[in-house]
Each structure stands twice: as C-alpha cells, then as structure tokens.
Amino acid sequence: MASGLGSELRDAFRNLSLKGASLGLERGCRLLVGVAAARVLGQATFGRFVFASTVTALLALGTDLGLGVWTTRALARSRGDGDRVVRVGLALRGLASLPYGLAIAGIAWVGVRGEERLAIALLGVAALVNAFVDHVGAVLRGYERFPDEARLNASRAFLTAVAGLVALTAGRSLAALCAALAAAGLGALLYGLSKLFRLHPLRTESMPGARADRAMARSALAQSLPIWVAGLVSMLYFKVDTLFLRSMSGDAELGAYGAAFKLFEGAMIVPAILLAVAFPKLARAHTDDPPAQGRLERHLSVVLLVLGLVAGGTCFFGATPLIHLIFGATFGRAVDSVRVLALGLPLLYVNFGMTHFLVARDLGRVTLWLALMMLALNVGLDLALIPGKSGPGAAWATVLSEAALTAGCIVRLRMRGPPARALPSAPRESRRDRRAA
C-alpha cells in the first residue's frame, strides 16, 4: 500500500511539473509578446489591441458550450466511451463556430473602423483556433495524458512567441501582430489534431453511428450548457471593465490598466496548473470515493490560499519595480491598479479552486447563478467606481466581486450535492444500420 501511495505521489508530482512547465512557458510567452507589443505599439495602440483581443476572446467562449470541461469530466469517469465523447464534443463545437464567424464578421464590418477592423478579423481567427486547441487539451487531460498536453502547450507557446516577436520587429504594427498570432494558432491546432487523431482515428464506417448518437449530444449539452454560461458570464464580469474603461477613460487609460491586468492574469497560472491536474481526480472521486474528494478539496483550498497570499504580497510590494522593469516608466499609471488587484489574488486563487469543486460535484447550475450575481455586482461597481478612479476603480470592482464570490461558494459547498450523472449508454444497432454496414 505504501508503494502504491508513493507511486501516486510521484505521478502527481510529475503531472504537476509537466503542467506547470508547459503552462508557465505558454503564459510567459504570451506575457513576453504583450510586453513587447506595449513597448512597440505605444499605450494608445496597445489599448486598441487589448480591446480587440478582449472582444474576440469573449465571443470565442461562445464556441465552448462548456464542452471542454464536460469532455474532461466524462473521459475521467468513463474511458470506454472515449470515441463517442470526443466525436460528439468536436461536432457540437464545430456547429457553434458558425454563429461565432458571423458575429466576428458583423463586428469587423459594422462595429469598428480603420486598423481595428483588421485586428478584430485576424484576432477572431486566432481566438477560434486557440479554442479548438484548448478542446484538444481537454481531451488529453481527460485521459490524464499530461506529457502530450505539455507538448501541445509548449508548441503553442513557442509559435506565439516567435511569430509575435518577429511581427513586432519587422512590421511594428497592430495588423502585423494580429496576423502573426493567427498564424501561430493555426500551427498549434495542426499539431494538436495530429495528437488527437492518434488517440481517435476518424474511421469512415463509424461516422454514421456518431451522427446518430443524439442521446449523448443531448446529455452533453444538458450538463455542459450551465457550465458554459457560467464561464461566459464569469469572463464577462472579469472583462467588462475593459469596455467601461475605454468608453469612460479612453485608450491610454485602458492601455495602462491592461498592463496591470497582464500581471494579474500571469499570477493566475498557479491555480490553473493545480486544478488542471487535480480536476480529473476530483470528478472521479465524486462517483468512486466522496470522502476522498472532500479531503482533496480541503488540501487544495489550503494550498491555494497560501500560494495566493504569496502571489498577492509579491505583486503589492513589488508593483513599482515590476511595472517599470516589464513595461517601462511610461506605464507608471498601472502601479496603483496592480496594488489593488494584488489584494484580490488570495481570493481569486481560492475561488478558482471552489468553482472547480462545484463543477466536479455536478453543480454547474450553481456556478451559473453565482456568476450572474457577480456580473450584476461588478457592473454596478464599475459604473460607480470607474468615473472617479479610472483603472484603480475597475480593479476595486474586481476585488469586491471576488470577495462576494468567495462567500457564495463557501455557503454552497457546505451543502450536500447531487449524485454523479452517468453517460447515456450507446444505442443498440438497428437492422438498417447492420444492412448499411
């Protein structure tokens, strides 16, 4: 038994190391490109880049439908249905991409002008292909193939860094940067699909059965849509300050706040690593060993709180040197926003864990209601604080919203959750299907 526990600990450490290294590399490369873009493009043009990337990221989340989390959870609980889970997930996401493309085209044609029009179109492509790369990563996580997921993240990081820096050096324009990011995303998607098709080759004779499996599609959407809407609303309340800041304070103020938020987002890599590795175990324990799930939740909560305090303290006390070193003295306005956001990092870390606990317990609808309440609160706080405080006001709105989310998650997690849902069984083969075969 001791050897089994030691093996499990070694596997967990290896998986954390792989996830940490690959995700750290990816976030680091994105931060590197963001810093270079801020220095090359200037504060106002960088603000337009932040606006375009935020709009396309929000719209790209509409293609997810919660299917990434559903796929990981379904594969972690039932490996035997892997082919059906993967095909249904990809088919539904492909259908969701059609309205996304129309939305991007509409915004690019009607909603913006000048260089922002091309930026929206190119970043729209980049956001869509990266959404599919993330879905491939969700499949690999469901199988707990963390080395393959690490290679996928590392390839995307390398392509993003090289393409972005070359574009900024040679083109020195917003359009060149956006085109490079789109090309990097396409390269990463091709690599990811090569990994996926090794696990699940597309066999022609199996496709009619996959199309006919409407029961799994309905089950998938019933479970995933609340998770998706909650994620969409959460991102909206997390990013809506970008829209308010631009309209109330202008591109330059948005550029400064965007620099502060880059550090805030960079600090989120730690809970993302921990929960990416732990989520399959949480989902499986919900059906196999609920007491073990409770113990894992408590241990993760303590670790996340301690790490959040360390990250928050580092950003609060090191705000000025961090901003000056990374973005330059011209972004000094971002220091105040960094210090306010740093106060919310411990809450953010713990909330990241607790929302994953809720999803692992099949409580996606709870996360939806919490996200809706946080959105309403955040919008109200933005409207009250941004006119007088600009970037720091938006940061305070984020921190206060996270505090409210912490309270809501604690209350719900103390209540007993529902039993785990099983996947629908595969339909029996009909005479027509046998004759066609």
SS3 content of the chain, % helix, strand, coil (to 5): 90, 0, 10
Q: What is the pLDDT of residue 160?
A: 93
Residues 6+ apart with CB under 8 A from 251: 43, 44, 45, 47, 48, 51
Q: Residue 116 — very low, low, confident or very high, per pLDDT cuts 50/70/90?
A: confident
> How far, in Å, CA of 403 to CA of 264, rounded?
16
Q: Is the pLDDT of residue 79 over 80?
A: no
Structure tokens at 123: 């970043």
Nearest CA to 349 out of 377, 374, 312 is that of 312
Please name the amino acid found at residue 307.
Answer: L
> How far, in Å, CA of 92 to CA of 101, rounded?
15
Q: Is the pLDDT of residue 258 over 90?
A: no
> How far, in Å, CA of 415 to CA of 376, rounded?
24
Structure tokens at 274: 């921990």
Structure tokens at 314: 């580092």
Q: Residue 11 — very low, low, confident or very high, per pLDDT cuts 50/70/90?
A: low
Q: What is the pLDDT of residue 8?
A: 54
Q: Residue 289 — very low, low, confident or very high, per pLDDT cuts 50/70/90?
A: confident
Q: What is the pLDDT of residue 303?
A: 92
Contact 91, 218 (CB under 8 A): no
Q: What is the pLDDT of residue 435?
A: 38
Mean pLDDT across 366-381: 86
Chain centroid, CA 233 distance in Å: 13
Please name the amino acid found at residue 119.
Answer: A
Q: What is the pLDDT of residue 16?
A: 60
Least reliable range by pLDDT among 179-183, 258-262, 307-311: 258-262
DSSP string, 287-316: HH-HHHHHHHHHHHHHHHHHHHHHHHHHHH
The pLDDT tens digits of the residues spanning 198-217 come to: 877 655 444 445 444 678 88
> How far, in Å, CA of 53 to CA of 171, rounded?
19
Look over the chain and give the mean of its residue pLDDT values, rounded to a whole number: 81
Burial of 1 (0-12, 13-18, 19+ CB in 10 A): exposed
Q: Is the pLDDT of residue 114 over 80?
A: no
> What is the percentage of the chain residues whose pLDDT exceeds 70?
87
Q: What is the pLDDT of residue 179?
A: 93
Q: Is the pLDDT of residue 417 over 80?
A: no
Structure tokens at 43: 């504060």
Q: Residue 164 — very low, low, confident or very high, per pLDDT cuts 50/70/90?
A: very high
DSSP string, 183-218: HHHHHHHHHHHHHHHHHS---GGGHHHHHH-HHHHH
Least reliable range by pLDDT among 186-200, 244-258, 331-345, 398-412: 244-258
Q: Is the pLDDT of residue 42 over 80?
A: yes
Mean pLDDT across 10-32: 71
Q: Is the pLDDT of residue 125 over 80?
A: yes
Helix (H, G, I), strand (E, B) or coil at 113: coil
Mean pLDDT across 401-430: 70
Burial annotation 118-151 (CB, 10 A radius, 16+ → b, else e): bbbbbbbbbbbbbbbbbbbbbbbbbbbbbebbbb
Residues 6+ apart with CB under 8 A from 26: 153, 154, 156, 157, 160
Structure tokens at 223: 């479970």
Mean pLDDT across 5-18: 58
Chain centroid, CA 259 distance in Å: 19
> How far, in Å, CA of 126 to CA of 120, rounded?
10
H/E/C letters for each residue in 347-387?
HHHHHHHHHHHHHHCCCHHHHHHHHHHHHHHHHHHHHHHHH
Residues 6+ apart with CB under 8 A from 113: none
The residue ranking higher by pLDDT, 229 or 7, is: 229
Angle between helices 251-267 and 269-288 (to 10 degrees): 50
The pLDDT tens digits of the residues spanning 186-199 come to: 999 999 998 888 87
Mean pLDDT across 270-285: 80
Q: Is the pLDDT of residue 85 over 60?
A: yes
> What is the percentage of the chain residues whose pLDDT exceeds 90?
21
Mean pLDDT across 175-195: 92
Longest dimension (CA), the chain: 73
The pLDDT tens digits of the residues spanning 47-64 come to: 888 888 888 988 888 888
Q: What is the pLDDT of residue 191?
A: 93
